[in-house]
Structure 1
Amino acid sequence: MDNFTHIKSVAIIGAGPAGLAAVKYLIAENCFDRVVAFEQRDEVGGVWNFTGNVSQQQQSDLTIPRTKPAQSVERPVSVQKPSGRITHLFPSPIYDALETNIPHTLMNFTDKPFPADCPLFPPFGTVKQYLEEYADDIRTHLRLGSQIEQVRAGTCDGAHKTKWNLSYTDLVSGRRCEESFDAVICASGHYSDPYIPNFPGISDFDAAHPGVITHSKFYRNPRPYSDKKVVIVGNSASGVDISRQISTFTARVIVSEKEKPTTLHSDSNSITYRPEIAEFVAENRNVRFVNGTTETGVDHIIFCTGYQYSFPFLLGLDQPVASTGQRASHVYQHIFYHLQPTLAFLTLPQRIVPFPVAEAQAAYIARVFSGRLGLPAFEDMEAWEQGVLQAKGSKGFHNLGYPEDVDYINALHDVSMGAKACETRGAGKTPPFWDEEKRWTRQRFPMIKQAALKLGEKRCEVRCLRDLGFDFEDWKRGEYLKQKDSP
C-alpha cells in the first residue's frame, strides 16, 4: 500500500491517556503542520475525570437491556459551579474510592514514572494529576470543551485522497464549528456506553421495579446499599471492587459470575457467589440462577458487565465500525480502519495495560502517517482481521490477555523502530519495549493485587512490589539455582 506522505494535519478525538500519547508521538515526527486533540470535557484525562453523582442524572436514559451501541453522541450534564460558571460534565465511571488494579510500575508512560511516594495501586486522583502533568508540554495542541458531533470522509481536490470533515460544538460558547484534516485518530475509548445483556424477564422486571437495575458506570459509593440485598452481575475488576466495598455495608451481597471462579474472590463472609443468571422474575423481585438457586426480595442489581464499542460520530464510512458493539470492524492490528486507513483507533484491545499499549500503537500510527512506514496490501489487512475472527470470534476479537498483550507491545515496538529515520526530521519517539522483568510483573499482577487487597486499608502504605513479597531478582536467582541443580 502507498505511504501517506500527503498527510499534514491530524485530528485526535479525545484527550485521555491515549489521545495525549498520540499527540506526543505525532509531533515527535516533526512532519505535521497541524496536530489537534479535541476533548469534550473541560480537562484532560478522559474517564479519569471524576464527576461524582452527576452521573445519576443520566440513569433515566439507561435502556434495559442495552445490547446495541448508541446512535447519537452523549449529551453533557450542565452544572453551575460556585463561581457561577456553567461547566459541562460527561459522566465518568470513576467511583469514590477507585484505585488502579494495575501496579503503577507497569501502568506508567515510558518517559514519566509515577511519584515514588504514591501507593503501588494509586487512587484515581493521583492518576488524574499524573495525566495533567503529562499534558503540560502539549497544551497548545489541545482543544478542550469541544465535542465532536460528526466525522465524515470526503475527497481533497479530486486527488483521490481522503479528507476528513469534522463538525464539533464549542461547549463554552455553544458555537457549531467545522474543520478538515488529512487523518483522524479515534482515542475516545470504550468506557461510556454501558452493556447490559438481555436475560429472560429483565424488561418486565425493570418495568415493575424501575431503578433497581443499574450499571457500574453509575455506582459511586456503598452507602446507599446499607442493609440491602444486592446482586452484582460480573466479577471482573469493577465487580470485584464494588462487591468488596458494598460488603462492608451489608451482609447480603450476591455475585453472579459467568465464567470459572476468578482468583480475585473475596474472603468476606458477606459475599455469596452464584453462577450465571437464568431469569429475572418481577414478582417478589426474584433472581433465579442456572444452578436452580433463587434470591428473593433483591433491592439492587448492579451490572458490572462492561461497555460497548460505540462511535456514533463516525458517519458515512464505507462500512460501519461498530454495528453490534462487540468489537470494532474492519480494523487491522486493532488500529487501522483498512477500508480508509487514514482513520485509526487507539486502545481498542481489552485485558491490557492501556497506557503503554496506547504508546505502542501511537508510535506505529505516527510512523505510518508521516510516511516512514507503509501498511500491507488491503487484502493482507483484511486477511489478518478474518484470521483473528476465526480464532477468537467477534466477542473475543479485541481480547489480548497475558501474554498476548506483552507480545503485542513488543511487536509494535519492533515494527516502529524498523522505520527508516529521516535526515531532517529524526527518528521520532521511542515506544515501550517490555523486558523480562516487565513480563514477569505483568504475568503476576492479579496475584499482586490480591495480596494488596488482603492488607485492607494498609494496602495504601505499599510502595513497591517487594512490600508484597514479589521480587524479580529473587525469583531470577531462584530460577538460576533450579537450572544449576537440575540433572
Structure 2
Amino acid sequence: MTISERPQFNIKSVAIIGAGPSGIASLHELSRVTRTGKSLFGLKDISEYEEKGDTAFPKLVAFERNASVGGVWSKSAFGYNNKDPDLPIIEDNKIDLTKPEQIYKKYEIDKELEEKLEFSTYEKPIQIPLNENLETITKHQWRSSAAYEGLFTNLDYRYKNLPGFQYARDVGAYLEEAVETYNLEKYIRFNSNVERVQKTPTGKWEVIVSFMSEAEGKKYLNWYKEYFDAVIIGNGKTVPIVPSFKGLKQFAETNKNKVTIKLAKSVQETTFIKNAKKLLFIGSSVSSIDLIQYAFPRDLDNPSVYISRRSATAHLDWINGCTYSKGIVNKPTIEEFLPESNSIKFTDGTVESGFDVIVICCGYHMYYPFLTNVSQDSLKWYQYTFWVDDPTLALVGNTYAGFFFNRVEAQGAALAGVWTNKHKLPDRESQLKIIANKPQLSVGLINQEFINPLIDLSLEGRPHPFDVDQSKSDHVAQICHAQLTIPDLFYKIRDGLVDPMNL
C-alpha cells in the first residue's frame, strides 16, 4: 500500500494510552460496536454481544499509569496525592528546559532488556529490582495530575452532566461513575506506563509497558511487550512547560529556606499561596489565574501579587481583565534570578526582591514520550484524530478548545466508523489540504469544524453529542454565558465576597 492510498482496515485489537476522559470516551465508543458495524451507543450491558463474539473490537486495553481513572481528575493523582517534583532536574544552566525531552526522564531499554522483552507477556513480565535511579526517573515522568485541592472546573455543567461549579474531586467521581455504569474497568490496566510505541514490519503496533510491583518487601519495575492492530493516544498534556531562566538553579538552592518555588503542576493545595506575603506567578494565562484567586483577599492598594508575562495580552479577553485588575502588578519576562539578594531582574531593567512564593504557570507540552522513529513536530492529524501517515494511530483529546467532553466523544465515534470500514478517509494529499485550511477553533466554530465532520464518520445509530441532551441545543450562547461567570467569580473572590474553597 502506498502512503496516498486509502486503506481497508482489519482492526480487532486496540491499545488506548490513558484512561482520562479521552480514554474513557474511546473505550465506550469502541466497546459498543457490533461486527456488522452497528453502534450500541448508550447500551449499559453488552454481555449478550460479547458472549456471541459479536463485537467489532474484541481486544481493547487502556493503559492508565495512575491507580484510578480520570486523567486530570484522577483521585489517586491530584491534590495531596500529587507526587510530582517542585522543579525539574536542572543539571546546569546550559540545558534548554523548554524542550520536553529535557525534563521528562525515560527508563533506558538496553540491549539485554530488549532481548528479554521478546519473551515477555502481561502475565509473565520481566522484573527489575527498583533502585534509587529508577525511582528518580519515575518521579520525573510527571505522572500526577495538575489539579489541586480546591480547584474547581470552569466547564459548563451541560457539557459534562454535572451541576454548577464542580471541584476536581466531583468531576473525578462523575468519570468513575461512567466507567462503572458501562462496565469499562475490565478493559483498563492501572499503574501501567506506556514506555514505547512503534510500528513493526508485520503491520502491528508494538507497545512496551512498565508497572511497579512489590514482593517480600522488595519493589520491582516490571516490563512486557504486547501487540495491537491500532493505538489511540489519549495521554493528555502532563509535561509542564518550563522556561530556561538564568540563575534559577542557584536561586532555588540558595533561597530554599526563604522562598517556595513550584511548578503549577506540582501544587497539592493552596494554603501556601494564601499565607504568602509577596508572590510571583510566571505566566499569564488560565493556570496562573486559577492559582492567583487563592492569594486573595488581600490589600489591593498595596499590591503584593505579581505576574511575569511573555506577551502584553492573552488570547482571551476575560483573562486580560483578570490579570490586569486592581491588586496585581504586571511585569515583563524575567532576565535573571539573583540568588544572593533573593531578587529577580526583569527584562525592563527593574528588580524586585522579597518574594516568598514563586509559581511557574506556563502551560503544558503536547508530548508523546513513547513514540519512537517519529518526529513529533511532523505529526499531522486529520480532523484532529487520524494520523495522516498511518490512520491506525489516532489522537483523542489534546486540543485547545471548548466542549472537551463532547469533542472526545465525537473523536471516538469517528474511530469506530472508520476502523470498521463503514466510512473511508480521503487520500493523504486531500487530508493535508483540509488540515491546512482549517480555521482556528473558536467557540462558534467547534461544532461546525470539529464535531460535525467527525460525527459524519460515525456509525449509524450514533447520535450527535449535542442531540443526546436537548439542553445543549444553544451550545454557543450557553458557553459564552459560562465564560462570563468566570471573571465575575474571580472579582468576587478577589474582593473577599466568595470563598473559593466553599463555592
Q: TM-score range by the shorter chain?
A: 0.7 to 0.9
Q: Which of the residues 447, 452, 464 maps onto 2:489? A: 452
Residue type of the alignment partner of 1:165: E
Distance (Å, rounded) in 1 between the aligned partners of 2:325 and 2:444: 34
The question of whether the paired residues in 2 share the 8 Å contact of 1:239 and 1:304 is answered with yes
* Partner residue, 2:444: 403
Cα–Cα, structure 1 residues 429 and 5, in superposed 2: closer, same or farther, change >3 Å? farther
**5+ long unaligned stretches in structure 2:** 35-55, 109-129, 131-140, 215-220
* Partner residue, 1:245: 294
* Partner residue, 2:268: 220
- 1:20 matched to 2:24: yes
Shift of residue 303 of structure 1? 1.4
Instruction: Note the 1:9-158 alignment, pairs <5 A.
Output: 9-30=13-34, 31-50=56-75, 51-53=78-80, 55=82, 58-59=85-86, 61-63=88-90, 66-70=97-101, 72-73=105-106, 90-106=143-159, 108=160, 113-114=161-162, 118=163, 120-136=164-180, 137=182, 138-156=184-202
Shift of residue 96 of structure 1? 1.2
> SS where residue 126 of structure 1 aligns?
helix
Distance (Å, rounded) in 2 between the aligned partners of 1:352 and 1:73: 32
TM-score calculated relative to the size of structure 1: 0.75
- 1:440 matched to 2:477: yes
Distance (Å, rounded) in 2 between the aligned partners of 1:98 and 1:355: 18
**When the two structures are aligned, how many residues end up with a matched partner?**
413
* Partner residue, 1:468: none
Shift of residue 429 of structure 1? 6.0
The question of whether the paired residues in 2 share the 8 Å contact of 1:12 and 1:186 is answered with yes
Residue type of the alignment partner of 1:129: A
Distance (Å, rounded) in 2 between the aligned partners of 1:375 and 1:331: 12
Shift of residue 428 of structure 1? 4.4
> SS where residue 135 of structure 1 aligns?
helix
> SS where residue 171 of structure 1 aligns?
strand
Distance (Å, rounded) in 1 between the aligned partners of 2:457 and 2:107: 35
Shift of residue 163 of structure 1? 0.6
The question of whether the paired residues in 2 share the 8 Å contact of 1:363 and 1:430 is answered with no
> SS where residue 131 of structure 1 aligns?
helix
Between 361-370 and 202-211, report the one with greater CA deviation: 202-211
Residue type of the alignment partner of 1:69: P
Provide Cα deviations, 1:364-400, integer angstroms capped at 9, x if missing partner. Answer: 1221111111111112223344456xx8xxxxxxx63
* Partner residue, 2:229: 182
Residue type of the alignment partner of 1:256: S
Residue type of the alignment partner of 2:100: P
TM-score calculated relative to the size of structure 2: 0.73
Residue type of the alignment partner of 1:350: Y
Instruction: Note the 1:406-485 alignment, pairs <5 A.
Output: 406-417=447-458, 421=460, 427-428=461-462, 430-432=464-466, 437-456=474-493, 457=498
Q: Which of the residues 276, 280, 284 maps onto 2:341? A: 284
Distance (Å, rounded) in 2 between the aligned partners of 1:169 and 1:56: 18
The question of whether the paired residues in 2 share the 8 Å contact of 1:199 and 1:277 is answered with no
The question of whether the paired residues in 2 share the 8 Å contact of 1:359 and 1:432 is answered with no
Distance (Å, rounded) in 2 between the aligned partners of 1:267 and 1:207: 30
- 1:255 matched to 2:255: no
Shift of residue 239 of structure 1? 0.9
* Partner residue, 1:368: 418
Instruction: Note the 1:269-308 alignment, pairs <5 A.
Output: 271-282=327-338, 283-308=340-365
Distance (Å, rounded) in 2 between the aligned partners of 1:310 and 1:437: 34
Cα–Cα, structure 1 residues 293 and 89, in superposed 2: closer, same or farther, change >3 Å? closer
- 1:383 matched to 2:430: no
Residue type of the alignment partner of 1:93: A
Between 180-189 and 29-38, report the one with greater CA deviation: 29-38
Residue type of the alignment partner of 2:171: V
Distance (Å, rounded) in 2 between the aligned partners of 1:165 and 1:48: 29
Cα–Cα, structure 1 residues 55 and 169, in superposed 2: closer, same or farther, change >3 Å? same
Residue type of the alignment partner of 2:380: H
The question of whether the paired residues in 2 share the 8 Å contact of 1:247 and 1:268 is answered with no
Shift of residue 17 of structure 1? 0.8
Shift of residue 336 of structure 1? 1.6
- 1:8 matched to 2:12: yes
* Partner residue, 2:284: 235
CA-atom RMSD, angstroms?
A: 3.3
Between 427-436 and 221-230, report the one with greater CA deviation: 427-436
The question of whether the paired residues in 2 share the 8 Å contact of 1:153 and 1:163 is answered with yes
Distance (Å, rounded) in 1 between the aligned partners of 2:381 and 2:150: 36
Distance (Å, rounded) in 1 between the aligned partners of 2:255 and 2:502: 43
* Partner residue, 1:159: none
Identity %: 24
Distance (Å, rounded) in 1 between the aligned partners of 2:444 and 2:24: 26
Residue type of the alignment partner of 1:297: G
Cα–Cα, structure 1 residues 286 and 400, in superposed 2: closer, same or farther, change >3 Å? farther
Residue type of the alignment partner of 1:272: I
Shift of residue 333 of structure 1? 2.4
Q: Which of the residues 313, 327, 343 maps onto 2:393? A: 343
Distance (Å, rounded) in 2 between the aligned partners of 1:148 and 1:56: 19
Between 259-268 and 3-12, report the one with greater CA deviation: 259-268
Between 343-352 and 399-408, report the one with greater CA deviation: 399-408
Distance (Å, rounded) in 2 between the aligned partners of 1:97 and 1:72: 29
Residue type of the alignment partner of 1:103: D
Q: Which of the residues 161, 165, 168 maps onto 2:209? A: 168
> SS where residue 173 of structure 2 aligns?
helix
Distance (Å, rounded) in 2 between the aligned partners of 1:35 and 1:430: 24
Shift of residue 344 of structure 1? 0.4
Shift of residue 297 of structure 1? 2.7
Distance (Å, rounded) in 2 between the aligned partners of 1:194 and 1:66: 10
Distance (Å, rounded) in 1 between the aligned partners of 2:144 and 2:502: 30
Distance (Å, rounded) in 2 between the aligned partners of 1:217 and 1:89: 8
